[in-house]
Amino acid sequence: MKRLDLTFHPRAQRMLLAFTLMLLLAACGSGADAAGGNSAAALAAAADPPATPTPVPPTPTATPTITATPDIRPPLERTLNLLLLGSDQRPNEPNWRTDVMMIVAIDLAQQRVGVISIPRDLFLDEIPNHQANRINVVDYLGEQDEPNGGGPKLLSSILAERMGVRIDAFVRFDFASFSKIIDAIGGIDVEVDCTYADSMAGLYLTPGQYTMDGALALKYVRSRYTTSDLDRARRQQQVIWAVRQSIANKNLLPRIPAIYAAVADAVETDIDLVTAVRLIRFALGLDPDRVYRLILTPPDYMQPGWRRGMSVFVADWPAITHAVQRIFERSPMTATEIAGAQDGQRTCY
């Protein structure tokens, strides 16, 4: 059998190693680690019993008073914030647009996650060293200025300035490989809650439960001609959670070669191996009721407008900044609520 060359793509190697360790850690669980540690301690105690100590009268000491210092930092200053980017980049085309932009705020201490979707047509009146434009061109522009990471760096600096959210690391993928990854893990289960009839995308779905392969999932997350970018952001969050569920619920060891082939040239990240393993294990153990989402929508956070000959959304940055810092006060992702909807009702638009 031909062996995979894991030295060829350093970042893909880290992703594969993290994925393999994820499976091993998930199979063993923290209980196994604790059992092993207790067994080793028991063997050591049996081999060399400790001597009986001579009682010594205790010396009275003053009990120190410990006062906890409250953490007054904004909530997203206490989280690990990842920038997730999905592009339509193609091998033979020099430029691209970023259609998926999400901030994933991971609160390890409180065992919860906030997911913030940013519309592709959000207008930026200032982009350092460039003309005003939609936010979905920033990744491309940054890469032209500084290849191999300049795009996420530029976008992160803008988000930090405008939204008050520090970005700690990024993950970038392209849509063609997104489809391959879903096929590699054996598909995903998605509950479609609206009717979609998009002839441009070749998508025809009625409400119900679907097992989607990569091609159908890609159509589902990209369709917008009969709905909107805002509904598409909701579907993107839904599909990413379905990928997590598929990874958590399936034995994917036999699929590791296919997964490696899917991510080898497709996924870019500056997350180191140790952090990746920690985050993947955290994700697999995450309670769905501890995932909170915010999809930035009009009229609360932006208004439709026309800038530089483009149909765009004009942001209310103070409102957005206030909302993202309160993401953990929202309904969890398992509820029917969509950001911008009224009375917790699911909205198709």
Domain positions in the chain:
75-184+229-329
Sign of the alpha-carbon dihedral angle for 281, 283, 286, 290: positive
CA nearest to 173, candidates 243, 224, 126 = 243
Distance, in Å, from the CA atom of 117 to the CA atom of 240, rounded to the nearest integer, reads 12
Domain 75-184+229-329 -> CATH class:
alpha beta
Alpha helices in the chain, H assignment, sequence order? 10-47, 138-145, 150-163, 175-184, 214-222, 229-249, 256-263, 273-284, 317-324
Distance, in Å, from the CA atom of 103 to the CA atom of 82, rounded to the nearest integer, reads 6
Cα 182 to Cα 98, 239, 259, 262, 325, distances in angstroms? 20, 10, 9, 9, 32
Q: What is the DSSP letter of 91?
A: T
Question: Which pLDDT score is estimated for 66?
Answer: 65
Backbone angles phi, psi at 330, to 5 degrees: -80, 175
Reading the chain (349 residues) residue by residue, the pLDDT tens digits are 433 333 334 444 444 444 433 333 333 333 333 333 333 332 233 334 444 556 666 666 666 666 667 778 899 999 999 999 988 776 677 788 998 899 999 999 999 999 999 999 999 999 999 999 999 999 999 999 999 899 999 999 999 999 999 999 998 888 777 788 888 888 999 999 888 888 888 889 999 999 999 999 988 988 877 777 678 778 887 887 788 788 777 777 677 677 766 666 667 888 877 787 788 788 778 888 898 989 898 899 999 999 999 999 999 999 999 999 999 999 887 553 333 333 444 556 5
Are 160 and 166 in contact by the 8 Å Cβ rule? The answer is yes
Are 152 and 142 in contact by the 8 Å Cβ rule? The answer is yes
The C-alpha angle with vertex 320 and arms to 318 and 323, in degrees rounded to 5, equals 110
What is the pTM (predicted TM-score) of this model? 0.71
Query: Per residue, what are the HEC states of 155-221?
Result: HHHHHHHHHCCCCCEEEEEEHHHHHHHHHHCCCEEEEECCCEEECCCCEEECCEEEEECHHHHHHHH
Are 123 and 307 in contact by the 8 Å Cβ rule? The answer is yes
Query: What distance lies between CA 193 and its chain's CA centroid?
Result: 22
